[in-house]
Amino acid sequence: MPSPSRSVALVTLGCARNEVDSEELAGRLGAGGWTVTDGDDADVVVINTCGFIDSAKKDSIDTVLAAAESGKKVVAVGCLAERYGAELAASLPEADAVLGFDSYADIAARLDDLAAGRPVPAHTPRDRRTLLPVAPAHRPAAVAEVAVPGHAWLPSGMARKRLDDSPTAYLKLASGCDRRCSFCAIPSFRGSFVSRPQQDLLGEARWLAESGVRELVLVSENSTSYGKDLGDLRALESLLPDLAAVDGIERIRVSYLQPAELRPSLLAAIAGTPGVAPYFDLSFQHASAPVLRRMKRFGSTEAFLQLLGRVRELVPDAGARSNVIVGFPGESEADVAELERFLTGARLDVVGVFGYSDEDGTQAATYDGKLDAAEIAARVEQVSALAEELMSQRAEDRLGTRVEVLVESVVDGELVGRAVHQGPDTDGTTTLTAGSNAARGRIVPALVTATEGIDLIARPDGQPW
């Protein structure tokens, strides 16, 4: 009998951490004899789902349903599968298998079972915070026994396979979170905070550079906590210059910073280390002190503006972005006005505005003072309109300034990339004009000449490329 075809397509939803996890899955599948393809000829479709908020859950389910209509075998992995497991499998029979993080190490064998018609039991969820010691210092000795997605890179690169040829790649600093924000369920299904050893990060960075990566974006659930379980709260400060020194890497970008943990030494390292983008992805979530306390977070308008002021004292044109939640239980009109006052004074390059929704198992889901959906939607629209105006104004502040643009696409002679203050996917782009001819992956010095919303248009300034 001829061997059955063994080809698989990976579909990634959700955040940048999932992008890394999908590339680990691709590496493991390839090592297990499966051909990873992005074409319609795949026998199996693996969907790396997102389970963070209601809209992401719906998108994940819709993607599974659409893939099932093709007649292919469909496997759900990722956060939604980890969070709901057998419950998801029972309510979504279109998925031929629902696998959690514990299945990632032998994902090829699970697909072998599926292809051969053998039963593949659905994942049984559990609170992943219980799998490691409460004390971060005790975790390194125990973490080898726990599945931590995105941490499995090997010197051969076998446990990670790049799924595109972008000059930008994500590098996972850590997984999990020890914070207990009242609205967030992520720690329960991603687990406790686990840092990756520095030698692993440097080895993977070199491997990525050899594959053509020029910008590394460091991701985690909370990058400011990196190293606390390794016995070094300043580990990120020492790691950044070593990563920036990797041959071929032109730019390091740090994402997911907690304002309450952004100590002065880390702020200075991000602002002042050559090769590290002065870019601050700050998780503010709100600015009204009463709302922040109900969220189990810290800060206020004044505290956050002071933090941004310290950033701009070091680098006046530093990039800064954040996300905010409106419609949180008990949020008053005065709280919304306070948030708007903060956004007006903050001069952020990008603001993501999200409406609150209850999440299973969170403290906020039990709160009184819930707002109805129409009111939440109205507040999202109100704050989003202000944010869009403020972001456009911030882009206009950059008119006449010089930027360094990493070219990411060249189409019909038009070069599009990102300046230092623009993170991938969400922060806008810069288009180069006036006879630009640099290759993809090159960094081009340019002068900003126009704006289109948060996007910039810039003219190369004649410096060597």
Q: What is the pTM of this model?
A: 0.94
Distance CA 229, CA 318 (A): 30
Name every residue whose Cβ is closer than 8 Å to that of residue 307 and which is 6 or more positions away in sequence: 259, 262, 282
Instruction: Please list the pLDDT of the chain residue by residue as tens digits (465 residues).
Output: 334 568 999 999 999 999 999 999 999 999 999 999 987 889 999 999 998 778 888 999 999 999 999 889 999 999 999 999 999 999 999 999 999 999 999 999 999 999 999 999 999 999 999 999 999 999 999 998 999 999 987 777 678 999 999 999 999 999 999 999 999 999 999 999 999 999 999 999 999 999 999 999 999 999 999 999 999 999 999 999 999 999 999 999 999 999 999 999 999 999 999 999 999 999 999 999 999 999 999 999 999 999 999 999 999 999 999 999 999 999 999 999 999 999 999 999 999 999 999 999 999 999 999 999 999 999 999 999 999 999 999 999 999 999 999 999 987 778 999 999 999 988 999 999 866 677 899 999 999 999 999 999 999 986 444
- Dig out the tokens for 457 from the structure: 């248009």
Indicate the SS3 state at residue 338: helix
Does residue 58 have a known ligand-binding role? no
State the residue for tokens 């590098």: 171
Q: Is 79 flagged in the annotation as binding? A: yes
- Per the CB < 8 A criterion, the answer to whether 181 and 227 are in contact is no
Judge whether 93 is annotated as a binding position: no
> What gap in Å lies between CA 81 and CA 51, rounded to an integer?
8
Length of the chain, please?
A: 465
Residue 18, marked binder: no
* Rounded Cα gap, residues 90 and 310, in angstroms: 52
Give CA separation, 255 vs 91, 238, 283, 293, 320, in Å.
35, 17, 10, 24, 11
pLDDT in tens, 328-363: 999 999 999 999 999 999 999 999 999 999 999 999
In this structure, what token pair is assigned to residue 448? 């900003």
Instruction: Find out whether 120 and 108 touch, Cβ atoms under 8 Å.
Output: no
* 393 annotated among ligand-binding-site residues: no
Do the annotations mark residue 181 as ligand-binding?
yes
Whether residue 183 contacts residue 136, with contact meaning beta carbons closer than 8 Å, is answered with no
Coil, helix or strand for 34? coil
Separation between Cα atoms, residue 128 and residue 148, nearest integer Å = 10
Angle, vertex CA 78, rays to CA 75 and CA 80, nearest 5? 95
